[in-house]
Every structure is written in structure tokens, then in C-alpha cells.
């Protein structure tokens, strides 16, 4: 058991933090992109690729670093801390992980998978995975062009930024994976305007869109991907919560009222410690879930991910409490506190409210005790 | 890279201990553990069980082999806590002695003290208590007033301790006294090893809000203690106290393991209530609250392991350890509240009603949550003092 970050992970953290502070500060990068549907610029994207981050999870034989979710978590925390609005998670985590699983289960059609993975690592392709609960279907064989997809998906992360849409579609036995060029005829993307403008989402329509079959997916690959996505978002939110907490504590040390720093008032101190408690609990759960994503069995991996999501509502209270510490200035548009609260609220609402997941975890506990009692 | 798994040899250690507990923990011992040491019958059963643990080498695994321990590693201690808690083994009568007093005896005691006192502590032949809190020294422990004045080859002790666990059953006391009233409060304290059978000592049970008598008030009236009872340097008692408190390390595992077990027991009682015609185990509000408690308990496990890992790998575990204690207290109270709300006052023979009341201690004992938060704010976050 060793839960300390390695020197390499610390170096990765510092490198990404420095890069984002220089090239993607909130004031001059994030804020101008608040209304932009893609949230990305070539300069910053290629910079992230040059640092090796887009290929972090891509296996070495496909041009990546072949690292684990623990390292992806280090990057995600920095992206959350910087309110980074671009498609890193969709490309470097969700697409890379799903394509890697498709490559592992390689069949005859898998030839484009290594190329896509290589492009992701290089930074030449932005991709997103379209999870749709059966809303997209194979509408027919498009002859020379390949397969045709049809359907509508209400909300897809980074739909406007993606060059390539990765679409799993259920088949008779298992799922097949398709690639659709976002610019192709028959693909429509409409930006959504969610409460969190630092994370981009869009509605997608496929109206006879040409798709290339990438191969078949191993059983439950979509379930595993859903867990990966939960953990990734949790790591991002953890970074955002830590950042706004750090800002609030620094402010409490310097903001003077009644002739004393407000951080010397016990009521403010306890507010800060309560925030730290929440952030450190979340950090503990995320650390475990990141480890479990690669190292644990299915049950533990899934539970660890669901716990992170179930805690999202509570994590969002860190944004609330931070604004309370900032007082009036934290209530202004100019101050970044609301952007952090929005990031946390976005995670809290994404995939359904935390309440649903909490109830699910309660039911799981009841089931497991029931099973233990049934045993002789 | 972060790794939550334990090495194979530690898992083998777990298997060995689990097998031993499965055969040794009889229903009678488990029942005694549920009733607790305040029940005289249960007290005797637990004492016999503590002896059995000692004979099998399972009483004080962290002690060095020369004192009858196993010199267990931190991870083995973690596993030991997890397994004994999950098996519902009764808490050892000398739990404070084994974990907190013995390390100080080993570090500061004379050969004579170590040779005579440690084996009897391990066997539960002697019951130990710790004289720290006083009516005027609660969270502010260093303000203690019980005085020891040197008189020839004796100290004369005068004062009043309270919240002394099993003080009325104890044979020995690790007593903190003021030996230099002129010095700053942390610097005038000494530690004495006191025979509780000396004349002038009176221990009165101190019933808690549930009516239980786990604690005592101990009065010292002109008690003549031999000078060689001094443990550690004269006026160096604060340093003795902090070494003992920092020795706990893997005991952080107790925080999550106990709460997880309590949650499982609560869930089992919810299911039993449903078998009797209620519908609490399927009630969405109850499930929601249960899920919320389970997440916090499982995250607390990860937080405690981070604290243990920090200590293991040369980093400062203070921040995570003090946060874990705060989380533990609040979570324990929330579990007690759900149990009472969902099961009512009469369930499980009133156990959950008692639990609802006794949970108040979780944010008081060992330093209140509020003082703990002050310390975290100032020491960890660097927020200014007033």
C-alpha cells in the first residue's frame, strides 16, 4: 500500500500546471471561450499534445505513453483547477480508452483504430465518444461509403470540437464501434448552453451519416467506459474544488474586516475546515477510483466510480462555501468563484443528480447484507 | 504509483488471524463484547478472552518480541484492526494501556517497570487507566491542576481526574500531574505510574448520559507515591504524552472499520424490521441516507489509509489524521441518527436508542471537534490566530 504521488506524477502535475498558467489562464483563455462551442484553440491543444498528455493513455505501440488512469487523474485535476474548457477528457480519456479496448479485441476491421490512437497521441485528431442508450442505429449499408447511421443524441460532450465521433452501436451479439467524421454530410451538431459554460456539450443528429466500422467491442466495454468517464469527471471536479478552496483560504488570510483578517474568525475557520474535509474525502475516493479503474475487479471498479459520482453533490458545496468566504466580491461576474461553482454544479448534475446514485448505493448495501445473511 | 493493495505476506497474516478468530471467538465472548465491560459478568469474560489473546500472541502484535509482541509492521497492525473489528471481537480491557501507555513504558520505564508491568498488562492481570482529563482540563489538557509535590523519596499527589476509562476497575494509572506550578503550562507537567490501591485514592463511577458506568472520577487526597514512579523526565510529561499519542498510527483503521461494521449492523436490523412487517429497507429516503453514509464511510477508509500511507512513506500524516477524526465523529453521529429515525426507540432492545445518545461523545472525547477544527485551521491551513 502506497498512496503517495510518485516523483514522475508530481513532475507531470507541475508541468501541466505551469503550461496552463502560461497558455490558458482563466482571464485570457477560459473567459473569452465561455460562449465558444468548442472551448479549444490549436495553440493550447497542440501544446497539450506536445507535453504528451493527449497520448497519456494511448498504448506505447500506438504512439502513446501507455500510462494508467492515475496519471490521467493528475492531468484532469490540473484541467479542473484551470477551468480548462477544451475536449481533453473526451479525446484523451474516453476516446483513447474505448479505442484501446477495441484494439485489444482486434478483429479484421480494426485497421483504423491504431491510426486514430496515433492521431490522438499526436494531437492531430479531436474525438469524442457518443454514448446514446440505443438512440443511434445502423440505418443501412451505404454501399461504397460503408455504413449509414441515423438517430439523435440529446447531449454529447465536446460535440462541436470533435473531428471524429466514436459511436458504439449494439449488434446482435455485442457492440460494434463506428467512426463518423463530424464534418460529414448528415451530421448535425447544435451547441447546448448548460449552466457550466466551461464544459462544452452539444446535441447531435445523424441523418444517414456515413460511418466506418472500427471493429467489435469486448463485452461491457461501454459500462467500463462509463465508469472511466465518471472517475475522470470526478478528478476534474476535485481539481476545481481544490482550486476554489485554496483561493478562499488565501483570501481569508488577507481580507481584513473589524481590524482583523477574516480567517482569524472561528466561524470562518470552521467553514474553511469543513471545505477541506469535503475536498480531502473526495480526494481519497478519487484516488481509490483512479487506482481501481486499472487495478481492481469489475465490482470494486464500478462501486468506486459510482461513489465518486454520488459524492458530487456534496463536493459542489465547496463552491458554495467558497463564495460565502469571499462575501460580496464572490457574488460578482468578474470574480472566478462562480465559474468554479458552475464547474462543480455541472459535475453534480451530469448523468443524473447525486441523489439517484446515493439511493443506488444504499440499495447495494442492503443487497450485500441480505446476501451475507443468506449465507450459512 | 498509488496502490491500495496489500503485499501477499500481509494478506497471509490476515488469513491466519481470521482463522484464529473464527475458532476462538465463541458466542459467549461475542455476547460479552456486545454488553461491554460495564457489565460485571461480561467484564470477567472479556478479561479471560484477553488472556487467551495474550497466550496466542495476538494481544499486542505491535510490541517488540522481547515483551511478548510480534513486532508487527504497520500494515499488519492495519489488518489486525480491520479483522478484529469485523469479527466483532470485544475491545481489550487495556486498549489504552496496550496502545498508548505501553509505548511510553518501553521508552521511558525502568527495566523493573517493564519486566513486571508489561506482561501483566498484556494478560489483563492488571487493568490500566490513564489520568489525563480533569474537570477544568478538557480540550485544554495542558491546563491540568492535579499536583505532585516532592517530599523526600515520595511525590505527594493531590487532585481530581475525570473521564478516566475503567478508573474504578483499574490497578494502575498513568497519571499526568503538575510538578512545577511556576512553569508555562506545557512545561510543568510530569507523568507518574501510580498503583491505584494506594491509600488516599478514591475512584467513583461516573455514569454517562445513557446510565452506563464506563468512566470514573478519581480523587487523589494526600497520596504518597514512591519517587521511582516517575515516567520520563521530571517536568517532561507533555513529551511523554505526545509520544504515546503519536504511536497509534495504524489505529486510524479503527475509525472506518467500526463505522462500516455499524452500518452493516444497522442495515441488518433494517432488514429484520422488514421481516416483521415494516418497510424501511426499501424506503427511498432511508436508502438515500444509507447510501450517503456508506459513501462517507468508504471515503473515510481511503482517507485513513492515506494517513497511514503518509506515515509509512515519510510524510506528515497530521492533516489527514485530524480530518479523519473529525469525519469519524460526524459520521458516527449521522449513522446513529438514521438508526434511531428508521428503527425507533424500541428496536434491538433499545440498542439504537442508546446509540443515538452515546454518539454525542464522538465529537467530544479525545478533544472536541470544534477545537480540532481550530487546530486544523491554524496548523494545516495557516489561518491566523485571533
The answer, yes or no, to whether residue A111 has pLDDT greater than 80, is: no
Q: How far apart are CA A281 and CA A287, in angstroms?
A: 10
A16-41 pLDDT tens trace: 999 999 999 999 999 999 999 999 99
Residue B61's domain comprises 8-93
B305 and A CB contact within 8 Å: yes
Contact criterion met (CB < 8 Å) for A310 and B383:
no
Residues 224 through 263 of chain B touching chain A, CB cutoff 8 Å: 263
Do the Cβ atoms of B271 and A373 come within 8 Å?
yes
Residues B57 and B16: their CA atoms lie apart, in Å, by 12
Q: What does pLDDT average to over chain A?
A: 95
Whether B248 sits among the annotated catalytic residues: the reply is yes
- For residues A241 and A319, the answer to whether their CB atoms sit within 8 Å is yes
What is the separation, in whole angstroms, between the first and last Cα of chain A?
33
| Residue A85 DSSP class | -
The x, y and z cell numbers of residue A151, run together, are: 438517430
Give chain A positions within 8 Å (CB) of B267.
365-366, 369
Q: Is residue B62 part of a domain?
A: yes
**Average per-residue pLDDT for chain B:** 94
Residue A96, min C-alpha distance to chain B (Å): 21
Residues B178, B89 share a domain = no
Residues A252-258, mean pLDDT to the nearest whole number: 97
Bridge partners of B215, per DSSP, are: B165, B206
Q: B4, A4: Cβ pair inside 8 Å?
A: no
Chain B contact set for A256 (CB, 8 A)? none
Q: Does B2 touch chain A (CB under 8 A)?
A: yes
Mean pLDDT of A255-274: 97
Q: B56-60, B233-237, B348-352, B358-362 — which is least confidently predicted?
A: B348-352
In a domain, residue B337? The reply is yes
Residue A316: pLDDT above 50?
Answer: yes
pLDDT of residue B386: 82
Please check whether residues B176 and B267 belong to one and the same domain. no
Query: Which of A105, A54, A71 minimizes the C-alpha distance to A215?
Result: A105
pLDDT of residue B2: 80
Task: Indicate the residue of B6, B298, B374 with minimum beta-carbon distance to A266.
Answer: B374
Distance from CA of B345 to the nearest CA of A (A): 21
Let me know whether B225 and B292 are in one domain: no
Q: Do A1 and B306 touch (CB under 8 A)?
A: no
> Average pLDDT, stretch B59-68?
92
Mention the CATH class of domain A127-217. mainly beta
Question: Which residue from B minimizes the CA distance to A356?
Answer: B288
**Which positions in chain A touch B286 (Cβ < 8 Å)?**
362
CATH of the domain at B12: 1.10.540.10
Same-domain check for residues B267 and B372: yes
Q: Which residues contact B87 (CB under 8 A, 6 or more apart)?
A: B18, B21, B22, B25
What residues of chain B, 69 to 98, have a C-beta less than 8 Å from chain A? 75
CB contact B6 to A (< 8 Å): yes
pTM to 2 decimals? 0.96
Which of the listed residues B93, B114, B138 is the one where a domain comes to its end? B93
The residue from B52, B158, B248, B258 that is catalytic is: B248
Sequence-ordered list of residues with C-beta below 8 angstroms from that of A153, at least 6 positions apart, any chain: A130, A132, A135, A136, A203, A204, A205
Of A1, A269, A364, the CB nearest to B374: A269
User: Can you give the pLDDT at residue A236?
Assistant: 98
In a domain, B114, yes or no: no
What is the distance in angstroms between the Cα of B202 and the nearest Cα belonging to chain A? 39
Asked if residue B109 belongs to a domain, the reply is no
Q: Report the CATH number that the domain containing residue B259 is assigned in CATH.
A: 1.20.140.10
Q: Distance (Å) from the C-alpha of residue A294 to the closest C-alpha of chain B?
A: 11
A44-53, A270-279, B69-78: the lowest-pLDDT one = B69-78
The half-sphere exposure of A3 on its side-chain side, counting CA atoms within 13 A, is 26
Chain B residues whose CB is inside 8 A of the A255 CB are none
CA distance B267 to A368: 10
Q: In the predicted model, is pLDDT for residue B311 greater than 80?
A: yes
Whether residue A376 has pLDDT greater than 80: no
User: Which of A51-60, A140-149, A289-298, B95-104 is the least confident region?
Assistant: A140-149
In the structure, what pLDDT confidence band is assigned to residue A143 with cuts at 50, 70 and 90? Answer: low
Q: Is the pLDDT of residue B318 over 90?
A: no
Mean pLDDT of B347-373: 93
- Structural Rg of chain B based on CA atoms: 22
Provide the pLDDT confidence category of residue A109 given band limits of 50, 70 and 90: low
Q: Provide the b/e sequence for B139-166 (b: ≥16 CB within 10 Å).
A: bebbebebbbeeeeebbbbbbbbbbbbb
Chain B residue nearest residue A313, CA to CA: B292
A361 touches chain B (CB under 8 A): yes
Cβ-defined contact of A260 to B75 (cutoff 8 Å): no
What's the 3-state SS for chain B?
CCECCCCHHHHHHHHHHHHHHHHHCCHHHHHHHHHCCCCHHHHHHHHHHHHHHHHCCCCCCCCCHHHCCCCCCHHHHHHHHHHHHHCCCCCCCCHHHHHHHHHHHHHHCCHHHHHHHHHHHHCCCCCEEEECCECCECCCHHHCCCEEEEECCEEEEEEEEEEEECHHHCCEEEEEEECCCCCCCCCCEEEEEEECCCCCEEEEEECCCCCCCCEEEEEEEEEEEEHHHEECCCCEHHHHHHHHHHCCHHHHHHHHHHHHHHHHHHHHHHHHHHHCCCCCCCCHHHHHHHHHHHHHHHHHHHHHHHHHHHHHCCCCCHHHHHHHHHHHHHHHHHHHHHHHHHHCCCHHHHHHHHHHHHHHHHHCCCCCHHHHHHHHHHHHCCCCCC
- pLDDT for residue B245 is more than 80: no
Of the three residues B39, B67, B93, the one that is the final residue of a domain is B93
Which residues in A172-255 belong to E strands, given as ranges? 174-181, 187-191, 201-217
B125 Cα to chain A: minimum distance (Å): 36
Residue among B299, B373, B382 minimizing CB distance to A273 = B373
Per-residue pLDDT at A183 exceeds 70: yes
Interface of A with B in 45-74 (CB under 8 A): 68, 70
A7-122 CATH pick, 1.10.40.30, 1.10.287.1080, 1.20.120.420, 1.10.540.10: 1.10.540.10
CATH (residue range A221-374): 1.20.140.10
Task: State the average pLDDT over residues B87-108.
Answer: 95
* Percent of chain B predicted with pLDDT > 70: 98
What per-residue confidence (pLDDT) applies to A108? 47
**Number of separate domains in chain B:** 3
Q: Examine the domain organization and report whether B23 and B63 are in the same domain.
A: yes
Q: Is residue B118 part of a domain?
A: no
Contact A86, A40 (CB under 8 A): yes
**Which pLDDT value is given to residue B248?**
62
Hey, are the CB atoms on B2 and A287 less than 8 Å from each other?
yes
Q: Does B294 touch chain A (CB under 8 A)?
A: yes
Query: Are A366 and B290 within 8 A, CB to CB?
Result: yes
- Residue A207 β-bridge partners: A150
| Whole-angstrom distance, CA of residue B145 vs CA of residue B160 | 8
What pLDDT is attached to residue B120? 97
pLDDT score of A110: 59
A97–chain B Cβ distance below 8 A for any pair: no
* Tens of pLDDT, residues A296-314: 999 999 999 999 999 999 9
B203 close to B211: Cβ distance less than 8 angstroms: no
Render pLDDT for B133-174 as a digit per residue (tens, 0 to 9): 999 998 888 999 999 999 999 999 999 999 999 999 999 999
Q: Where does residue B199 rank: exposed (0-12), middle (13-18), buried (19+ CB within 10 A)?
A: exposed
Residue A307 has its nearest CB partner, among B6, B270, B299, at: B299
Task: Note the pLDDT of residue B244.
Answer: 61
Handedness of CA A208, A213, A218, A224 (dihedral sign): negative
Same fold flag, A127-217 and A221-374: no
Residues of B in contact with A295 (CB under 8 A): 3-5
* Residues A263, A242: Cα–Cα separation, whole Å: 18
Return residues 312-371 of B near A (CB < 8 Å): 312-313, 315, 319-320, 323, 326-327, 370
Residue B101 belongs to a domain: no
Asked if A288 and B4 come within 8 Å (Cβ–Cβ), the reply is yes
Is residue A171 very low, low, confident or very high in pLDDT (cuts 50, 70, 90)?
Answer: confident
Residue A362 and residue B294: Cβ atoms within 8 Å? yes
> Are B174 and B231 spatial neighbours (Cβ–Cβ below 8 Å)?
yes
> In this complex, do A365 and B291 lie within 8 Å of one another by their Cβ atoms?
yes
List the single residue in A with minimal CA-CA distance to B8: A1
- What radius of gyration do chain A's Cα atoms show? 21
Distance CA A16, CA B227 (A): 62
The domain boundary residue, chosen from B75, B93, B111: B93
Give CA–CA dist A368/A361, Å, rounded. 10
C-alpha to C-alpha distance for A228 and A234, rounded to whole angstroms? 10
Amino acid at each position: 500500500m502506497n498512496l503517495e504521488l510518485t516523483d514522475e506524477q508530481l513532475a507531470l502535475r507541475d508541468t501541466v500546471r505551469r503550461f496552463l498558467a502560461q497558455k490558458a489562464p482563466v482571464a485570457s483563455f477560459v473567459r473569452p471561450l465561455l460562449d465558444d462551442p468548442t472551448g479549444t484553440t490549436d495553440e493550447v491543444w497542440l501544446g497539450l499534445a506536445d507535453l504528451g498528455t493527449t497520448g497519456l493513455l494511448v498504448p506505447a505501440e500506438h504512439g502513446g505513453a501507455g500510462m494508467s488512469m492515475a496519471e490521467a487523474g493528475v492531468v484532469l485535476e490540473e484541467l479542473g483547477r484551470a477551468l480548462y474548457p477544451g475536449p481533453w477528457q473526451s479525446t484523451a480519456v474516453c476516446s483513447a480508452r474505448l479505442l484501446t479496448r477495441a484494439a485489444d479485441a482486434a478483429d479484421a476491421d480494426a485497421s483504423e483504430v491504431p491510426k486514430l490512437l496515433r492521431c490522438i497521441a499526436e494531437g492531430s485528431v479531436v474525438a469524442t465518444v457518443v454514448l446514446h442508450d440505443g438512440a443511434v442505429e445502423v440505418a443501412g449499408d451505404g454501399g461504397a461509403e460503408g455504413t449509414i447511421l441515423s438517430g439523435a443524441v440529446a447531449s454529447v460532450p465536446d460535440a462541436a470540437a470533435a473531428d471524429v465521433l466514436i459511436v458504439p452501436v449494439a449488434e446482435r451479439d455485442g457492440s460494434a464501434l463506428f467512426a463518423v467524421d463530424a464534418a460529414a454530410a448528415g451530421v448535425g451538431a447544435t451547441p447546448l448552453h448548460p449552466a457550466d459554460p466551461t464544459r462544452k456539450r452539444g446535441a447531435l443528429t445523424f441523418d444517414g451519416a456515413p460511418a466506418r466500422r472500427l471493429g467489435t467491442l469486448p463485452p461491457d466495454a461501454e459500462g467500463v467506459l462509463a465508469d472511466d468517464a465518471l472517475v475522470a469527471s470526478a478528478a476534474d471536479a476535485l481539481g476545481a474544488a481544490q482550486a476554489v478552496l485554496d483561493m478562499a483560504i488565501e483570501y481569508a488570510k488577507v481580507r481584513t474586516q473589524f481590524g482583523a483578517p477574516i480567517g482569524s474568525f472561528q466561524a470562518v475557520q470552521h467553514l474553511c475546515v469543513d471545505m477541506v474535509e469535503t475536498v480531502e474525502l473526495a480526494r481519497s475516493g478519487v484516488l481509490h477510483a483512479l487506482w481501481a479503474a486499472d487495478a481492481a475487479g469489475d465490482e470494486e471498479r464500478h462501486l468506486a466510480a459510482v461513489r465518486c459520482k454520488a459524492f458530487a453533490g456534496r463536493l459542489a458545496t465547496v463552491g458554495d462555501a467558497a463564495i460565502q468566504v469571499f462575501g460580496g466580491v464572490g457574488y460578482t461576474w468578474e470574480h472566478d468563484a462562480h465559474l468554479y461553482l458552475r464547474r462543480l454544479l455541472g459535475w453534480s448534475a451530469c448523468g443524473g443528480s447525486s441523489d439517484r446514485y446515493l439511493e443506488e448505493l444504499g440499495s447495494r448495501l442492503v443487497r450485500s447484507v441480505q446476501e451475507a445473511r443468506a449465507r450459512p | 504509483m498509488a496502490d491500495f493493495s496489500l503485499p501477499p505476506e500481509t494478506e497471509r497474516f490476515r488469513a491466519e488471524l481470521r482463522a484464529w478468530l473464527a475458532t476462538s471467538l465463541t458466542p459467549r465472548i461475542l455476547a460479552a463484547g456486545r454488553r461491554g465491560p460495564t457489565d460485571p459478568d461480561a467484564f470477567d469474560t472479556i478479561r479471560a478472552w484477553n488472556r487467551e489473546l495474550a497466550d496466542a500472541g495476538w494481544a499486542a502484535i505491535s510490541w517488540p518480541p522481547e515483551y511478548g509482541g510480534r513486532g508487527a509492521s504497520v500494515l499488519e497492525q492495519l489488518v489486525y484492526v480491520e479483522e478484529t473489528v469485523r469479527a466483532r471481537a470485544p475491545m481489550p480491557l487495556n486498549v489504552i494501556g496496550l496502545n498508548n501507555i505501553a509505548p511510553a513504558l518501553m521508552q521511558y520505564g525502568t527495566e523493573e517497570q517493564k519486566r513486571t508491568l508489561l506482561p501483566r498488562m498484556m494478560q489483563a492481570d492488571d487493568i490500566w487507566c490513564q489520568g489525563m482529563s480533569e474537570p477544568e482540563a478538557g480540550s485544554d489538557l495542558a491546563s491540568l491542576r492535579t499536583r505532585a509535590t516532592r517530599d523526600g523519596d515520595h511525590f505527594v499527589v493531590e487532585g481530581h481526574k475525570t473521564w478516566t476509562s475503567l478508573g474504578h476497575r483499574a490497578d494502575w494509572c498513568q497519571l499526568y500531574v503538575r510538578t512545577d506550578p511556576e512553569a508555562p503550562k506545557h512545561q510543568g507537567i510530569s507523568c507518574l505510574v501510580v498503583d491505584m490501591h494506594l491509600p488516599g485514592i478514591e475512584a467513583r463511577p461516573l455514569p454517562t448520559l445513557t446510565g452506563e458506568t464506563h468512566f470514573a472520577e478519581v480523587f487523589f487526597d494526600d497520596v504518597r507515591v514512591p519517587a521511582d514512579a516517575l515516567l520520563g523526565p521530571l517536568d517532561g510529561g507533555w513529551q511523554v504524552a505526545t509520544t504515546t499519542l503519536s504511536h497509534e498510527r495504524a489505529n486510524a483503521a479503527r475509525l472506518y472499520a467500526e463505522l462500516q461494521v455499524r452500518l452493516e449492523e444497522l442495515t441488518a436490523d433494517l432488514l429484520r424490521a422488514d421481516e416483521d412487517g415494516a418497510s424501511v429497507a426499501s424506503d427511498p429516503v432511508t436508502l438515500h441516507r444509507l447510501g450517503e453514509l456508506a459513501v462517507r464511510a468508504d471515503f473515510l477508509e481511503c482517507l485513513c489509509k492515506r494517513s497511514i500511507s503518509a506515515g509509512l512513506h515519510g510524510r506528515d500524516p497530521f492533516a489527514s489524521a485530524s480530518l479523519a477524526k473529525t469525519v469519524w465523529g460526524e459520521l458516527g453521529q449521522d449513522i446513529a441518527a438514521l438508526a434511531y429515525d428508521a428503527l425507533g426507540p424500541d428496536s434491538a432492545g433499545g440498542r439504537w436508542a442508546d446509540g443515538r445518545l452515546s454518539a454525542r461523545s464522538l465529537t467530544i472525547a479525545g478533544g472536541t471537534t470544534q477545537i480540532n477544527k481550530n487546530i486544523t485551521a491554524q496548523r494545516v491551513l495557516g489561518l491566523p490566530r485571533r
